[in-house]
Amino acid sequence: MSGLIVLMVLLLFLIIAILCAAALVAANTSITQRTLQAEIVINASATDVWKVLIDFGAYPQWNPFIRQVTGKAEPGEKPTMQMHLGNRTMTIRPTVLFEQPQRELRWLGHLFIPGVFDGEHSFVIEPLGERKVRFIQSEEFNGLMIPFSKSLLNETEQNFNEMNRALKERAEQIE
């Protein structure tokens, strides 16, 4: 019987050690945080870029990254988004945090449960002239799984660039 008690105490100490290590990792934001950003100059008005960006119904026709969106781009809404990551498709239901027409759209999504792998995604349109804007797509990732997600994050950054190029091509075709 005493051997079982010793084993249970060791198991308890192991669980406490794992929880302490997880807390230390979570507290070190340089380990559990990563920001991705991709930008492109688009020869179109902010209005035209915005029209393309929020026309979710047309995404399957041009967007290589976010293939499908059902829902609205309004604060508090939780649209369903189908994202293409390499050979995988992932569906998320982020919460729209902010929407300023012709300027910015931002949402917060979680994989699994909050704190494990969270991402605050934003699209920013910065006017550079009458028919010229800088489009910035970025995401700030936080969570315990960030240190173990390097290839997923690298793939995501490539997808940002692909989407930006496709958005540029589509917006520049608008007369």
Structural domain including 163 reads 34-172
**Alpha carbons 63 and 168: distance in angstroms, whole number:** 11
CATH number at residue 112: 3.30.530.20
What is the pLDDT at residue 128?
Answer: 96
Cβ atoms of 126 and 138 closer than 8 Å: no
Q: 136, 94, 100, 99: which is closest to 119 by C-alpha?
A: 94
What is the pLDDT at residue 150?
Answer: 87
What is the domain count for the chain?
1
In a domain, 153, yes or no: yes
In a domain, 53, yes or no: yes
Concatenated DSSP letters of 15-72: HHHHHHHHHHHHH-HHHHEEEEEEEEEESS-HHHHHHHHH-GGGHHHH-SSEEEEES-
What is the pLDDT at residue 24?
Answer: 57
- Amino acid type, 43: N
What is the pLDDT at residue 6?
Answer: 77
Run means of pLDDT, 10 residues per run, the chain, 175 residues: 77 74 60 92 97 97 96 96 90 96 96 86 96 97 86 92 98 90
Give the predicted TM-score (pTM) of the model. 0.82
What is the pLDDT at residue 32?
Answer: 81
What is the pLDDT at residue 22?
Answer: 63
What is the pLDDT at residue 1?
Answer: 61
**Alpha carbons 52 and 163: distance in angstroms, whole number:** 12
